[in-house]
């Protein structure tokens, strides 16, 4: 595809999704700026490493200088005390968006989450336009992340894509993944499309593979010009049954929606 992406900043570049995106964009971007709290080593002449916390607004602004796009994956990745989530996810995202505004970045891709709608029953096909029903405090923080993206698009004219990332795994490992799996190939496809789709002011898309049992709408992804290709169903025979999970009365968040999952953080 050639080096058509210019300079792309990846926050959370040491994480599982960040590591995959880093490799996938290495041949697409002229320059990759890799940001994380942990140390990283450049693996090609096109890579530049920055080690700092996203709560450091000045460091974020400096990292985004000259950037054409930013893929914001950094933050607290799971349920945690609300102050930690507000600090790591909401404040960190605000610093990224504000720095993007100041530096004139052309496109911001925000990592949202399927957990933002985890309290919908598995019987419903959920679209990005439906009201949030987070399955925990982590999901609440992602509601705020998307709201910040919407604000910066509406008020300041940033081009923002929110990707509600599914269960990113090399292959499904549990029953719920048959609905929620996001394959590495489809993950890169969504990210590349989110970086290159023309005419986007603001949009939200579920980043999920074309799973037969999915309960999230993938038609909205047409706005990005990407259609997922993998299906978790090919792994179904390898995954042991888990009671009657995915009964019509069950919640899309599965165990994440259990009260105990959040109470231990309060």
CA distance 43 to 103: 26
Give me the torsion for CA of 96, 89, 50, 190, rounded to 10°: -80
Q: Is 138 a catalytic residue?
A: yes
Phi and psi dihedrals of 85, rounded to 5? -70, -40
Three-point CA angle 53, 7, 107, nearest 5°: 80
Q: Which of 138, 152, 226, 261 is catalytic?
A: 138
Q: How many Cβ atoms sit within 10 Å of the Cβ of residue 49?
A: 16
- What residues contact residue 66 under an 8 Å CB cut-off, 6+ apart? 7, 103
Of 153, 170, 164, nearest to 221 by C-alpha is 164
What are the E-state strand segments in 61-169?
Answer: 69-72, 107-113, 160-165, 167-168
239 vs 95: CA distance, rounded Å? 41
**Structure letter (DSSP) for residue 175:** T
Q: How far is CA 19 from the centre of its chain?
A: 13
Residue 12 · residue 34 · CB < 8 Å: no
Dihedral (CA of 169, 171, 173, 174) sign = positive
Structure tokens at 167: 């269960």
Active-site residues: which are they?
138
């Amino acid at each position: 595809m050639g080096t058509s992406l210019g300079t792309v900043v990846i926050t959370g570049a040491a994480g599982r999704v960040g590591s995959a995106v880093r490799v996938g964009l290495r041949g697409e971007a002229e320059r990759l700026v890799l940001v994380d709290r942990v140390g990283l080593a450049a693996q090609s002449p096109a890579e530049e490493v920055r080690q700092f916390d996203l709560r450091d607004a000045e460091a974020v602004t400096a990292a985004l200088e000259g950037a054409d796009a930013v893929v914001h994956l950094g933050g607290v990745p799971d349920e945690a005390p609300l102050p930690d989530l507000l600090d790591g996810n909401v404040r960190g995202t605000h610093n990224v968006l504000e720095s993007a505004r100041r530096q004139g970045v052309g496109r911001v891709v925000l990592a949202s989450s399927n957990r933002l709608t985890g309290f919908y029953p598995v019987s419903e096909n959920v679209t990005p336009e439906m009201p949030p029903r987070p399955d925990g405090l982590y999901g609440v923080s992602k509601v705020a992340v998307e709201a910040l993206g919407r604000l910066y698009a509406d008020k300041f004219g940033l081009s923002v894509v929110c990707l509600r990332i599914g269960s990113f795994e090399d292959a499904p490992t549990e029953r719920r993944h048959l609905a929620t799996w996001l394959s590495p190939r489809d993950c890169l496809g969504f990210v590349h499309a989110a970086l290159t789709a023309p005419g986007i002011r603001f949009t939200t898309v579920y980043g999920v593979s074309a799973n037969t049992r999915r309960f999230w709408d993938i038609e909205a992804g047409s706005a990005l010009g990407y259609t997922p290709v993998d299906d978790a169903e090919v792994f179904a025979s390898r995954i042991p049954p888990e009671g009657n999970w995915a009964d019509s009365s069950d919640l899309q968040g599965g165990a994440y929606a259990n009260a105990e999952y959040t109470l231990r953080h309060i």
